[in-house]
Amino acid sequence: MMSKFQLVATAAMGLEAIVAQEVQDLGYETRVENGKVYFEGDETAIARCNLWLRVADRVKIVVGEFPAYTFDQLFESTKAINWENYLPVDANFPVSGKSVKSKLYSVPDCQAIVKKAIVERMKFHYKRLGFLDESGAVYKIEISILKDVATLTIDTSGTGLHKRGYRQHQGEAPLKETLAAALVKISKWNPNRPFVDVFCGSGTIPLEAAMIGQNIAPGYNREFISEEWPWMKAKLWEDARNEADDLANYDQHLEIIGSDIDHKMVAISQENALETGFGDLITFKQMQATDFTTRLTDGVIISNPPYGERIGEKEEIEKVIRDFGTLMNQYPTWSVYMLSSMENFEELYGKKATKKRKLFNGFIRTDLYQYWGQKSNRE
Ligand SMILES: C[S@@+](CC[C@H](N)C(=O)[O-])C[C@H]1O[C@@H](n2cnc3c(N)ncnc32)[C@H](O)[C@@H]1O
Protein backbone atom coordinates (compact mmCIF):
# COMPACT_ATOMS: atom_id res chain seq x y z
CA MET A 1 0.00 0.00 0.00
CA MET A 2 1.04 3.60 -0.43
CA SER A 3 2.59 5.80 2.22
CA LYS A 4 1.72 9.26 0.81
CA PHE A 5 -1.68 10.11 -0.56
CA GLN A 6 -3.14 13.04 -2.38
CA LEU A 7 -6.10 13.87 -0.14
CA VAL A 8 -9.03 16.19 -0.53
CA ALA A 9 -11.36 17.59 2.12
CA THR A 10 -14.71 18.52 0.64
CA ALA A 11 -16.85 21.27 2.12
CA ALA A 12 -20.02 23.24 1.52
CA MET A 13 -19.69 26.26 -0.72
CA GLY A 14 -18.20 29.23 1.14
CA LEU A 15 -16.57 27.16 3.88
CA GLU A 16 -13.41 26.08 2.01
CA ALA A 17 -11.14 28.65 3.64
CA ILE A 18 -12.20 27.51 7.11
CA VAL A 19 -11.58 23.86 6.21
CA ALA A 20 -8.18 24.78 4.73
CA GLN A 21 -7.28 26.43 8.04
CA GLU A 22 -8.42 23.33 9.96
CA VAL A 23 -6.24 21.09 7.77
CA GLN A 24 -3.28 23.47 8.21
CA ASP A 25 -3.83 23.46 11.98
CA LEU A 26 -3.36 19.69 11.84
CA GLY A 27 0.02 20.29 10.21
CA TYR A 28 -0.64 19.76 6.48
CA GLU A 29 -0.05 22.21 3.65
CA THR A 30 -3.14 22.93 1.59
CA ARG A 31 -4.14 24.06 -1.89
CA VAL A 32 -7.72 25.23 -2.52
CA GLU A 33 -9.12 24.61 -5.99
CA ASN A 34 -12.71 24.54 -7.27
CA GLY A 35 -14.01 24.76 -3.73
CA LYS A 36 -11.99 21.77 -2.55
CA VAL A 37 -9.09 21.61 -0.12
CA TYR A 38 -6.23 19.44 -1.39
CA PHE A 39 -3.35 18.23 0.76
CA GLU A 40 -0.85 15.42 1.00
CA GLY A 41 -0.70 12.97 3.86
CA ASP A 42 -0.17 9.40 5.01
CA GLU A 43 -2.51 6.95 6.75
CA THR A 44 -2.17 8.91 9.98
CA ALA A 45 -3.38 12.03 8.16
CA ILE A 46 -6.47 10.12 7.02
CA ALA A 47 -7.29 9.09 10.59
CA ARG A 48 -6.51 12.47 12.16
CA CYS A 49 -8.39 14.52 9.56
CA ASN A 50 -11.48 12.34 9.87
CA LEU A 51 -11.38 12.69 13.64
CA TRP A 52 -10.66 16.41 13.79
CA LEU A 53 -12.18 18.27 10.83
CA ARG A 54 -15.28 20.06 12.13
CA VAL A 55 -16.32 21.91 9.01
CA ALA A 56 -15.43 19.47 6.18
CA ASP A 57 -18.01 17.08 4.72
CA ARG A 58 -15.64 14.23 3.88
CA VAL A 59 -12.00 13.26 3.42
CA LYS A 60 -11.25 11.46 0.15
CA ILE A 61 -8.18 10.00 -1.49
CA VAL A 62 -7.56 11.37 -4.99
CA VAL A 63 -6.36 8.35 -6.96
CA GLY A 64 -6.28 9.90 -10.42
CA GLU A 65 -7.00 13.01 -12.43
CA PHE A 66 -6.90 13.05 -16.23
CA PRO A 67 -8.62 14.51 -19.30
CA ALA A 68 -11.55 12.39 -20.49
CA TYR A 69 -13.25 13.35 -23.73
CA THR A 70 -14.14 9.80 -24.80
CA PHE A 71 -15.20 6.58 -23.08
CA ASP A 72 -12.02 4.93 -24.38
CA GLN A 73 -9.91 7.56 -22.68
CA LEU A 74 -11.87 7.15 -19.47
CA PHE A 75 -11.44 3.37 -19.58
CA GLU A 76 -7.72 3.33 -20.38
CA SER A 77 -6.75 6.06 -17.93
CA THR A 78 -8.77 4.41 -15.16
CA LYS A 79 -7.19 1.02 -15.88
CA ALA A 80 -3.70 2.57 -15.81
CA ILE A 81 -4.13 3.57 -12.14
CA ASN A 82 -2.48 1.24 -9.63
CA TRP A 83 -5.74 0.30 -7.90
CA GLU A 84 -4.01 -2.61 -6.20
CA ASN A 85 -2.27 -0.02 -4.01
CA TYR A 86 -5.64 0.81 -2.51
CA LEU A 87 -7.96 -2.14 -3.03
CA PRO A 88 -7.29 -5.67 -1.75
CA VAL A 89 -8.50 -8.59 -3.85
CA ASP A 90 -11.82 -8.89 -1.99
CA ALA A 91 -12.58 -5.13 -1.98
CA ASN A 92 -16.22 -4.20 -2.41
CA PHE A 93 -16.09 -1.08 -4.56
CA PRO A 94 -19.33 0.60 -5.61
CA VAL A 95 -18.78 3.44 -8.09
CA SER A 96 -20.86 6.62 -7.96
CA GLY A 97 -20.50 9.49 -10.37
CA LYS A 98 -21.24 13.03 -11.47
CA SER A 99 -20.55 15.02 -14.58
CA VAL A 100 -20.67 18.77 -15.07
CA LYS A 101 -20.13 20.70 -18.32
CA SER A 102 -18.44 17.70 -19.99
CA LYS A 103 -18.67 15.68 -23.20
CA LEU A 104 -19.09 12.49 -21.17
CA TYR A 105 -22.39 13.47 -19.60
CA SER A 106 -24.03 10.08 -19.13
CA VAL A 107 -23.20 9.36 -15.51
CA PRO A 108 -24.42 5.70 -15.50
CA ASP A 109 -22.18 4.97 -18.52
CA CYS A 110 -19.17 6.62 -16.85
CA GLN A 111 -19.77 4.62 -13.67
CA ALA A 112 -20.04 1.34 -15.63
CA ILE A 113 -16.85 2.06 -17.58
CA VAL A 114 -14.87 2.95 -14.47
CA LYS A 115 -16.13 -0.18 -12.73
CA LYS A 116 -15.17 -2.36 -15.70
CA ALA A 117 -11.70 -0.79 -15.96
CA ILE A 118 -10.98 -1.34 -12.25
CA VAL A 119 -12.25 -4.93 -12.42
CA GLU A 120 -9.93 -5.64 -15.37
CA ARG A 121 -6.98 -4.08 -13.60
CA MET A 122 -7.65 -6.01 -10.41
CA LYS A 123 -8.19 -9.33 -12.19
CA PHE A 124 -4.91 -8.90 -14.03
CA HIS A 125 -2.97 -7.85 -10.95
CA TYR A 126 -4.43 -10.47 -8.60
CA LYS A 127 -4.40 -13.12 -11.36
CA ARG A 128 -8.10 -13.89 -11.15
CA LEU A 129 -9.78 -15.47 -14.14
CA GLY A 130 -13.35 -15.50 -12.87
CA PHE A 131 -15.21 -12.69 -11.18
CA LEU A 132 -14.11 -10.73 -8.09
CA ASP A 133 -16.37 -11.68 -5.21
CA GLU A 134 -16.22 -8.23 -3.55
CA SER A 135 -16.89 -9.81 -0.16
CA GLY A 136 -14.51 -7.56 1.79
CA ALA A 137 -14.42 -4.00 3.09
CA VAL A 138 -16.20 -1.22 1.21
CA TYR A 139 -14.25 1.35 -0.83
CA LYS A 140 -16.63 3.96 -2.21
CA ILE A 141 -15.21 5.18 -5.49
CA GLU A 142 -16.43 8.33 -7.21
CA ILE A 143 -15.87 9.39 -10.79
CA SER A 144 -16.39 13.12 -11.05
CA ILE A 145 -16.01 14.83 -14.41
CA LEU A 146 -15.78 18.61 -14.52
CA LYS A 147 -15.14 20.37 -17.83
CA ASP A 148 -13.78 17.11 -19.35
CA VAL A 149 -11.32 16.48 -16.52
CA ALA A 150 -12.03 13.24 -14.68
CA THR A 151 -11.17 12.83 -11.01
CA LEU A 152 -11.30 9.47 -9.29
CA THR A 153 -11.57 9.42 -5.53
CA ILE A 154 -12.07 6.94 -2.70
CA ASP A 155 -14.08 8.14 0.28
CA THR A 156 -12.34 7.55 3.62
CA SER A 157 -15.14 8.96 5.82
CA GLY A 158 -18.25 6.95 4.88
CA THR A 159 -21.11 8.70 6.59
CA GLY A 160 -20.62 12.46 6.18
CA LEU A 161 -18.46 14.09 8.84
CA HIS A 162 -21.41 16.19 10.03
CA LYS A 163 -22.65 13.03 11.75
CA ARG A 164 -20.88 13.37 15.08
CA GLY A 165 -22.89 10.62 16.68
CA TYR A 166 -24.63 12.81 19.27
CA ARG A 167 -27.77 13.97 17.53
CA GLN A 168 -30.48 11.59 18.65
CA HIS A 169 -33.34 13.94 17.89
CA GLN A 170 -33.76 17.06 15.84
CA GLY A 171 -36.24 19.83 15.23
CA GLU A 172 -37.80 20.80 11.92
CA ALA A 173 -34.91 22.85 10.55
CA PRO A 174 -31.72 21.72 12.25
CA LEU A 175 -28.48 23.26 11.15
CA LYS A 176 -25.89 20.87 9.83
CA GLU A 177 -23.23 20.33 12.48
CA THR A 178 -20.48 21.33 10.04
CA LEU A 179 -22.16 24.68 9.37
CA ALA A 180 -22.81 25.24 13.08
CA ALA A 181 -19.11 24.63 13.78
CA ALA A 182 -18.20 27.03 10.96
CA LEU A 183 -20.33 29.78 12.54
CA VAL A 184 -18.55 29.34 15.86
CA LYS A 185 -15.18 29.45 14.12
CA ILE A 186 -16.10 32.58 12.16
CA SER A 187 -17.09 34.31 15.41
CA LYS A 188 -13.62 33.62 16.88
CA TRP A 189 -15.37 32.83 20.18
CA ASN A 190 -13.12 31.40 22.85
CA PRO A 191 -14.21 29.50 25.96
CA ASN A 192 -13.34 32.40 28.25
CA ARG A 193 -16.31 34.27 26.85
CA PRO A 194 -19.97 33.50 27.51
CA PHE A 195 -21.87 31.94 24.61
CA VAL A 196 -25.60 32.02 23.92
CA ASP A 197 -27.92 30.75 21.19
CA VAL A 198 -31.34 32.34 21.70
CA PHE A 199 -33.03 30.27 18.96
CA CYS A 200 -31.29 27.01 19.79
CA GLY A 201 -33.72 24.43 18.30
CA SER A 202 -32.06 21.06 18.80
CA GLY A 203 -28.95 22.71 20.25
CA THR A 204 -26.55 22.20 17.36
CA ILE A 205 -24.71 25.53 17.72
CA PRO A 206 -24.21 25.36 21.53
CA LEU A 207 -23.08 21.73 21.24
CA GLU A 208 -20.53 22.55 18.54
CA ALA A 209 -19.34 25.52 20.62
CA ALA A 210 -18.88 23.25 23.63
CA MET A 211 -16.82 20.79 21.58
CA ILE A 212 -14.68 23.63 20.27
CA GLY A 213 -14.42 25.13 23.78
CA GLN A 214 -13.06 21.90 25.26
CA ASN A 215 -11.10 21.01 22.12
CA ILE A 216 -12.95 17.74 21.68
CA ALA A 217 -12.41 15.98 18.36
CA PRO A 218 -15.83 15.94 16.65
CA GLY A 219 -15.34 12.42 15.26
CA TYR A 220 -14.15 10.89 18.52
CA ASN A 221 -17.35 8.94 19.10
CA ARG A 222 -18.07 7.65 15.61
CA GLU A 223 -16.69 5.24 13.09
CA PHE A 224 -15.31 5.82 9.62
CA ILE A 225 -15.54 3.58 6.59
CA SER A 226 -11.74 3.41 6.26
CA GLU A 227 -11.48 1.83 9.72
CA GLU A 228 -12.55 -1.38 7.98
CA TRP A 229 -9.72 -1.26 5.47
CA PRO A 230 -6.95 -3.77 6.17
CA TRP A 231 -4.17 -1.25 5.51
CA MET A 232 -5.66 1.40 7.81
CA LYS A 233 -4.39 -0.50 10.85
CA ALA A 234 -6.35 -0.40 14.13
CA LYS A 235 -3.24 1.04 15.82
CA LEU A 236 -3.42 4.17 13.63
CA TRP A 237 -6.93 4.88 14.83
CA GLU A 238 -6.05 4.04 18.39
CA ASP A 239 -3.13 6.48 18.29
CA ALA A 240 -5.26 9.20 16.68
CA ARG A 241 -7.98 8.71 19.34
CA ASN A 242 -5.36 8.73 22.12
CA GLU A 243 -3.96 11.96 20.72
CA ALA A 244 -7.49 13.42 20.68
CA ASP A 245 -7.98 12.34 24.28
CA ASP A 246 -4.73 14.00 25.32
CA LEU A 247 -5.62 17.22 23.55
CA ALA A 248 -9.17 17.46 24.93
CA ASN A 249 -9.51 19.95 27.72
CA TYR A 250 -12.33 18.40 29.75
CA ASP A 251 -11.69 20.77 32.68
CA GLN A 252 -12.26 23.90 30.62
CA HIS A 253 -15.11 25.81 32.25
CA LEU A 254 -17.83 26.75 29.79
CA GLU A 255 -20.53 29.39 30.07
CA ILE A 256 -22.87 28.20 27.32
CA ILE A 257 -26.62 28.71 27.21
CA GLY A 258 -29.14 27.62 24.60
CA SER A 259 -32.73 28.83 24.74
CA ASP A 260 -35.81 28.36 22.60
CA ILE A 261 -39.42 29.41 22.87
CA ASP A 262 -40.50 25.80 22.32
CA HIS A 263 -40.14 23.57 25.38
CA LYS A 264 -40.05 20.48 23.13
CA MET A 265 -36.91 21.81 21.46
CA VAL A 266 -35.36 22.52 24.86
CA ALA A 267 -35.97 18.89 25.85
CA ILE A 268 -34.40 17.69 22.57
CA SER A 269 -31.35 19.91 23.12
CA GLN A 270 -30.96 18.53 26.62
CA GLU A 271 -31.09 14.95 25.34
CA ASN A 272 -28.52 15.72 22.66
CA ALA A 273 -26.27 17.37 25.25
CA LEU A 274 -26.52 14.32 27.51
CA GLU A 275 -25.54 12.14 24.55
CA THR A 276 -22.37 14.21 24.03
CA GLY A 277 -21.54 14.20 27.71
CA PHE A 278 -22.28 17.94 27.99
CA GLY A 279 -25.42 17.43 30.09
CA ASP A 280 -24.07 19.48 33.00
CA LEU A 281 -21.98 21.90 30.99
CA ILE A 282 -24.55 23.58 28.77
CA THR A 283 -27.68 25.18 30.18
CA PHE A 284 -30.78 24.82 28.03
CA LYS A 285 -33.93 26.69 28.96
CA GLN A 286 -37.25 27.72 27.53
CA MET A 287 -37.24 31.44 26.80
CA GLN A 288 -38.53 33.97 24.31
CA ALA A 289 -35.47 35.43 22.55
CA THR A 290 -36.49 38.97 23.43
CA ASP A 291 -36.41 38.08 27.15
CA PHE A 292 -32.64 37.62 26.94
CA THR A 293 -30.89 39.30 29.82
CA THR A 294 -27.39 38.98 31.27
CA ARG A 295 -25.00 40.57 33.73
CA LEU A 296 -22.01 39.16 31.88
CA THR A 297 -19.99 41.10 29.33
CA ASP A 298 -18.08 40.24 26.15
CA GLY A 299 -20.38 37.40 25.24
CA VAL A 300 -21.16 35.95 21.85
CA ILE A 301 -24.63 35.14 20.55
CA ILE A 302 -24.84 32.89 17.50
CA SER A 303 -28.30 31.98 16.27
CA ASN A 304 -30.22 30.69 13.34
CA PRO A 305 -33.66 32.29 13.80
CA PRO A 306 -36.64 31.14 11.73
CA TYR A 307 -36.54 32.69 8.24
CA GLY A 308 -40.25 33.52 8.25
CA GLU A 309 -41.00 31.21 5.34
CA ARG A 310 -44.07 29.60 6.84
CA ILE A 311 -47.44 31.23 6.26
CA GLY A 312 -48.31 33.56 9.09
CA GLU A 313 -44.83 33.32 10.59
CA LYS A 314 -43.20 36.23 8.77
CA GLU A 315 -44.68 39.17 10.66
CA GLU A 316 -44.18 37.48 13.99
CA ILE A 317 -40.52 36.73 13.41
CA GLU A 318 -39.93 40.20 11.93
CA LYS A 319 -41.16 41.69 15.18
CA VAL A 320 -38.92 39.37 17.22
CA ILE A 321 -35.84 40.41 15.19
CA ARG A 322 -36.78 44.08 15.55
CA ASP A 323 -37.24 43.80 19.31
CA PHE A 324 -34.10 41.69 19.69
CA GLY A 325 -32.02 44.26 17.78
CA THR A 326 -33.31 46.99 20.10
CA LEU A 327 -32.66 44.83 23.18
CA MET A 328 -29.06 44.18 22.21
CA ASN A 329 -28.31 47.93 22.34
CA GLN A 330 -28.22 47.38 26.13
CA TYR A 331 -25.29 44.97 25.75
CA PRO A 332 -22.68 46.80 23.66
CA THR A 333 -19.84 44.40 24.54
CA TRP A 334 -21.72 41.39 23.21
CA SER A 335 -21.19 40.23 19.64
CA VAL A 336 -24.21 38.93 17.73
CA TYR A 337 -24.10 36.58 14.73
CA MET A 338 -27.39 35.77 13.00
CA LEU A 339 -27.72 33.40 10.07
CA SER A 340 -30.76 34.45 8.09
CA SER A 341 -32.18 34.41 4.59
CA MET A 342 -34.29 37.50 5.31
CA GLU A 343 -33.08 40.17 2.93
CA ASN A 344 -34.37 42.96 5.14
CA PHE A 345 -32.63 41.58 8.23
CA GLU A 346 -30.46 44.63 8.89
CA GLU A 347 -33.42 46.95 8.52
CA LEU A 348 -35.40 44.86 11.01
CA TYR A 349 -32.49 44.54 13.45
CA GLY A 350 -32.13 48.31 13.25
CA LYS A 351 -28.43 48.37 12.43
CA LYS A 352 -26.11 47.69 9.55
CA ALA A 353 -24.05 44.58 10.20
CA THR A 354 -20.33 45.08 10.91
CA LYS A 355 -19.82 42.38 8.31
CA LYS A 356 -21.98 40.07 6.20
CA ARG A 357 -20.88 36.68 4.93
CA LYS A 358 -22.75 34.71 2.28
CA LEU A 359 -23.33 31.09 3.31
CA PHE A 360 -25.57 28.25 2.19
CA ASN A 361 -27.77 26.51 4.71
CA GLY A 362 -28.38 23.44 2.55
CA PHE A 363 -29.85 24.95 -0.60
CA ILE A 364 -31.01 28.14 1.09
CA ARG A 365 -28.85 31.15 0.45
CA THR A 366 -28.33 32.95 3.71
CA ASP A 367 -26.14 35.67 5.14
CA LEU A 368 -24.32 35.58 8.43
CA TYR A 369 -25.07 39.04 9.83
CA GLN A 370 -22.24 39.91 12.17
CA TYR A 371 -22.51 42.63 14.80
CA TRP A 372 -19.20 42.87 16.58
CA GLY A 373 -19.31 43.98 20.21
CA GLN A 374 -17.13 46.69 21.68
CA LYS A 375 -14.09 45.36 23.45
CA SER A 376 -13.94 45.69 27.23
CA ASN A 377 -11.97 43.15 29.26
CA ARG A 378 -11.90 40.50 26.56
CA GLU A 379 -8.79 38.37 26.18
C1 LIG B 1 -34.29 27.45 12.48
S2 LIG B 1 -34.65 26.84 14.05
C3 LIG B 1 -33.08 26.73 14.81
C4 LIG B 1 -32.44 25.42 14.50
C5 LIG B 1 -31.22 25.12 15.33
N6 LIG B 1 -30.09 25.96 14.98
C7 LIG B 1 -30.87 23.64 15.23
O8 LIG B 1 -29.78 23.32 14.76
O9 LIG B 1 -31.68 22.80 15.57
C10 LIG B 1 -35.35 28.24 14.83
C11 LIG B 1 -35.83 28.00 16.28
O12 LIG B 1 -36.28 29.24 16.80
C13 LIG B 1 -37.32 28.97 17.72
N14 LIG B 1 -38.10 30.23 17.92
C15 LIG B 1 -39.02 30.78 17.10
N16 LIG B 1 -39.43 31.95 17.60
C17 LIG B 1 -38.74 32.17 18.75
C18 LIG B 1 -38.71 33.21 19.70
N19 LIG B 1 -39.49 34.28 19.58
N20 LIG B 1 -37.83 33.10 20.74
C21 LIG B 1 -37.04 32.02 20.87
N22 LIG B 1 -37.07 30.99 20.01
C23 LIG B 1 -37.88 31.07 18.95
C24 LIG B 1 -38.09 27.84 17.09
O25 LIG B 1 -38.80 27.11 18.07
C26 LIG B 1 -36.97 27.02 16.41
O27 LIG B 1 -36.57 25.94 17.24
178-189 tens-digit pLDDT: 999 999 999 999
Pairing of strands 335-340, 36-41: unpaired
How many angstroms does the Cα of residue 306 sit away from the middle of ligand 1?
6
User: Which of 170, 199, 264 should be mutated for ligand 1, with most atoms under 8 A from CB?
Assistant: 199
User: Which of 162, 204, 205, 260 should be mutated for ligand 1, with most atoms under 8 A from CB?
Assistant: 260
How many angstroms does the Cα of residue 52 sit away from the middle of ligand 1?
28
How many angstroms does the Cα of residue 375 sit away from the middle of ligand 1?
28
pLDDT of residue 9: 98
Average pLDDT, the chain: 95
pLDDT of residue 277: 87
How many angstroms does the Cα of residue 119 sit away from the middle of ligand 1?
50
Relative to the CA of 170, which ligand 1 atom is closest?
Answer: 9
| 267-308 pLDDT, tens digit each | 999 999 998 888 889 999 999 999 999 999 999 999 999 988
pLDDT of residue 249: 97
* pLDDT at residue 2 is higher than 80: no
For ligand 1, atom 7, the nearest C-alpha belongs to 174
Tell me yes or no: is domain 5-155 CATH 3.30.2130.30: yes
Pick the CATH number of 177-215+248-371 from 2.30.40.10, 3.40.50.150, 2.60.40.180, 2.130.10.10: 3.40.50.150
Q: How far apart are alpha carbons 325 and 302 in whole angstroms? A: 13
| 48-93 pLDDT, tens digit each | 999 999 999 999 999 999 999 999 999 999 999 999 999 999 999 9
Local confidence band at 379 (pLDDT 50, 70, 90 cut-offs): low
* pLDDT at residue 378 is higher than 60: no
Bridge partners of 107, per DSSP, are none
For ligand 1, atom 16, the nearest C-alpha belongs to 261
pTM of structure: 0.95
Local confidence band at 377 (pLDDT 50, 70, 90 cut-offs): low
* pLDDT at residue 171 is higher than 80: no
Q: Which candidate, 80, 57, 76, places its Cα nearest to that of 68? A: 76
Relative to the CA of 171, which ligand 1 atom is closest?
Answer: 9
Pairing of strands 58-67, 149-155: antiparallel
In Å, what is the CA distance from 5 to each residue of 38, 61, 314? 10, 7, 50
pLDDT of residue 279: 87
Q: What is the mean pLDDT of residues 107-126?
A: 97
Ligand 1 site: residues with CB under 6 angstroms?
Answer: 171, 173-175, 198-199, 201-202, 204-205, 260-262, 265, 288-289, 304-306, 320
Quick one: how many helices (H) and strands (E) in the chain?
A: 10, 14
Structural domain boundaries in the chain? 5-155, 177-215+248-371
pLDDT of residue 8: 98
| 204-251 pLDDT, tens digit each | 999 999 999 999 999 999 999 999 999 999 999 999 999 999 999 999
| 338-367 pLDDT, tens digit each | 999 999 999 999 999 999 999 999 989 999
